[in-house]
Structure 1
Amino acid sequence: MKYTLVAFLCLLSLATAFNIEAHDNLVAYFGQDAANGGQQMLSYYCNDTTYDVFILSFLDIFFSGETFNGVELPEVNLANLCPNTFSQYPLLMECPEMGEDVKYCQSKGKIVTLSIGGAVGAYGFSSAQQAETFATTLWNMFLGGDAGYPRPFGDAILDGIDLDIEGGGGQYYDLFVTTLKKQYFAGANKTYYISGAPQCPYPDAYLGPGVGTALGTGLFDFVNVQFYNNYCDLSGGSSNYDTWASWAASANGTKLMIGLPAGPSAAGSGYMNGNEAVQKLQPYLTNPSFGGVMLWDVSVAQTNPVGDDNYASYLSQYLKKNAPPPSSA
């Protein structure tokens, strides 16, 4: 039987596609070069089965002051990557080569989303209308819309939005998420995801859950809980995973990714070597809410050796060997 190249790529994508119901997903943040000089282009990390989801980080400024048809445009910062900007919007990244990398990764069944926020930036909403308008802006700039908006990654269509909100208040993110999910994602011709990166103290100071919070909407597909840099580090004896799992079970089946630092330099506390990490993960593999592991970040994971492997591959192989199949959830 003969296949065209396009057909082959489609078959490959189907064979390796991200499964939100699986227990062995590996999610990695990409873009901030936490390895300090070790960051490759995105396509470099997509050539094996190690990673299932890449989260581009970060869209760190919501409103730059530059406008398109009266709508303020955001800024994107990918550390040492993509230095060029639009001539008419000198604060906005123009990086079609990243778009080509996104499409390449998607052809291999990877999910590629965009994280908004981050530890450093200027973001937040002052009104409901601002939050709803911002959802429309992101839909047109990075997702399935267009409406003539400038598109930093060219014609690449990302697979969703991640919220890593660590400042600027938590107001109106519930409306932002609801607008994306119900106005744009519902009925779209492809699947889009909403994820978040709350810190492990429950509830997260900015995302919740709680009334009027983003996580309170129950619309998140998965959350990458940061079990590091806090008293509830997975590395210690005070992990509150069960609290988050109880919430996830009541939130329309939101999946939990256990967030870990990928190397000693990736966090102030909470790093565990490969053997320690798998020992700490083992009790949660069969939890119905457990979806896998998130690593901060891919540049550190790829350069952190574990025997003859690297940290990301070591954890991915452990999950794929030991986590139960989706049907057992």
Structure 2
Amino acid sequence: MAMTVRPTWTGSLALHDVVLGVFSAGSKNNVVLYYGQGPNQKRLSQYCADPSIDVFILSFVHLFPQQANGYPGIDFGNQCWAETYAESGYGGQNKPTNNCLLKCPNLQRDLYTCRQTSTKKILLSLGGGTTAHQLSGAVDGENLAKQLWYMFGPRQSSWVRQGLPRPFDYAGSSAGFSVDGFDLDIEHPPTDGSAGYKALTTKLRSLYAAAPGTFYLTASPQCVVPDASMAGALQATTFDMIFVQFYNMARCSARRWADANPNYVPGGDFGAAGFTYDAWTTFLAGTYSRNARMYLGLPGSAKTASPWFELTVQQAANLANAYYCRSNFGGVAIWEATYASENVASGQETSTRT
């Protein structure tokens, strides 16, 4: 079976269902876009108006309470101000200079608008490239899970009555704003043997189960199997979607596959050439996440990773076609919004569908 692709997001592609911009967990055609780390970013509302995008991953919660004076730290680039929420400290010490829970008024408004005008899913990602975030054991991980849930999940009256922060709530909405789940993008090995991340993910799952509605737990590991920074967490509980970053490590990258299969045609034979999609499927088969949907994580342009990792539209389409019939294939995940929207493919702005 071959799939139909249209040049659009990334110097790669977007995959489309008959109805664009309608996320389906069981679909093979979802388009996921990371947002929050681009230079001079457009507002989220502009991307939300694009019907080819199904899921946004807000990036990042880049610091944890131990490093950020008691609350998690958030960084969404130019969508946040220098002003922070007041914090009470961590471990008996209050260091206001470490306050990093920023106020992001533009993002508050745009999240509200996006929720009112679309059915797109919005996830909040933890981690990123900084080395600063760490947890110090199971209690630390469980406490972070509860903080994230009360701050960014469904509005809890007991939390609000105490005057505690809800960074994504927009003043014009009495219901508050809840993300649709949390993503782990942990790129540095944990110093506590993964005890914190195991407790974090397990607690989030239990909080999801007790709440009405559907919430997702996702991960954005590197392409090497297993990912040294995330293997423990991935084996601890059930993840719904895995957005493998096939662009940071040459030996398992999408570009290596493309170079090894320059004449691939849909339905034809191909060599894996070190590309680890199937290796990730095998790894997940031995975990609670054996039914997770797998996504091709691709760079949005040569500026988002080393230029060597960028794929042409045709190369990305070939790769997606080659793995489309895998039962766990879910779509593509693109890093990141600003550079992807600026990228030009086949002489066209990449956000223009053909």
Counterpart-to-counterpart distance in 2, 1:30 and 1:125: 24
1:19 matched to 2:19? The reply is no
Deviation at 1:50, TM superposition (A): 1.2
Counterpart-to-counterpart distance in 2, 1:127 and 1:42: 35
Q: Which has the higher contact order (CA 8 A, sep 6+)?
A: 2
| 2:229 matched residue in structure 1 | 206
| 1:152 matched residue in structure 2 | 167
Change (3 A) 1:144 1:305: same
Deviation at 1:311, TM superposition (A): 3.5
Q: TM-score scaled by structure 1?
A: 0.82
| 1:74 matched residue in structure 2 | 72
- Which residue of 197, 202, 212 maps to 1:189? 212
Q: Secondary structure at the match of 2:60?
A: strand
| 2:36 matched residue in structure 1 | 31
**Residue identity in the other structure for 2:236:** T
Counterpart-to-counterpart distance in 1, 2:46 and 2:34: 14
| 1:63 matched residue in structure 2 | 65
1:274 matched to 2:316? The reply is no
1:238 matched to 2:262? The reply is no
Query: 304-313 vs 162-171, which deviates more?
Result: 304-313
**Residue identity in the other structure for 2:280:** W
Counterpart-to-counterpart distance in 2, 1:43 and 1:266: 22
Change (3 A) 1:218 1:87: closer
| 1:264 matched residue in structure 2 | 302
Alignment of 1:1-329 (within 5 A): 16-33=21-38, 36-37=39-40, 39-63=41-65, 72-86=70-84, 88-89=86-87, 91-107=100-116, 108-146=118-156, 147-148=159-160, 149-154=164-169, 155-169=176-190, 171-172=194-195, 173-182=197-206, 184-208=207-231, 213-230=232-249, 231-236=251-256, 237-249=273-285, 251-268=289-306, 269-307=308-346, 309-311=348-350
Deviation at 1:78, TM superposition (A): 1.0
Would the aligned equivalents of 1:248 and 1:256 in 2 still touch at CA under 8 Å? Answer: no
Change (3 A) 1:313 1:205: farther
Counterpart-to-counterpart distance in 2, 1:29 and 1:16: 15
Deviations for 1:260-297, whole angstroms, at most 9, x for unmatched residues?
00101111242101111111221101111110001000
Counterpart-to-counterpart distance in 2, 1:57 and 1:80: 12
Counterpart-to-counterpart distance in 2, 1:257 and 1:285: 10
Change (3 A) 1:291 1:133: same
Change (3 A) 1:76 1:64: farther
Counterpart-to-counterpart distance in 2, 1:257 and 1:139: 25
Unmatched tracts of structure 2, length 5 or more: 1-18, 88-98, 170-175, 257-272
Counterpart-to-counterpart distance in 2, 1:267 and 1:207: 21
Counterpart-to-counterpart distance in 1, 2:55 and 2:199: 25
Q: Secondary structure at the match of 1:190?
A: coil
CA RMSD in angstroms, aligned pairs only: 2.1
Counterpart-to-counterpart distance in 2, 1:312 and 1:290: 23
Unmatched tracts of structure 1, length 5 or more: 1-13, 318-329
Change (3 A) 1:134 1:87: closer
| 1:3 matched residue in structure 2 | none
Counterpart-to-counterpart distance in 2, 1:179 and 1:87: 25
Deviations for 1:242-262, whole angstroms, at most 9, x for unmatched residues?
111233455241011110001
| 1:11 matched residue in structure 2 | none
Q: TM-score scaled by structure 2?
A: 0.76
Would the aligned equivalents of 2:155 and 2:177 in 1 still touch at CA under 8 Å? Answer: no
| 1:324 matched residue in structure 2 | none
Counterpart-to-counterpart distance in 1, 2:235 and 2:230: 8
**Residue identity in the other structure for 1:191:** T
Q: Secondary structure at the match of 2:112?
A: helix
Q: Secondary structure at the match of 1:219?
A: coil
Counterpart-to-counterpart distance in 1, 2:324 and 2:129: 29
Counterpart-to-counterpart distance in 2, 1:145 and 1:252: 31
Change (3 A) 1:45 1:192: same
Deviation at 1:141, TM superposition (A): 0.7
Deviation at 1:204, TM superposition (A): 0.3
Question: After TM superposition, which residue ranges in structure 1, 4 or more long, deviate above 4 angstroms?
Answer: 64-67
| 1:323 matched residue in structure 2 | none
Counterpart-to-counterpart distance in 1, 2:328 and 2:285: 6
Change (3 A) 1:298 1:131: same
Change (3 A) 1:22 1:150: same
Deviation at 1:165, TM superposition (A): 0.2
Q: Secondary structure at the match of 1:136?
A: helix
Would the aligned equivalents of 2:20 and 2:51 in 1 still touch at CA under 8 Å? Answer: no
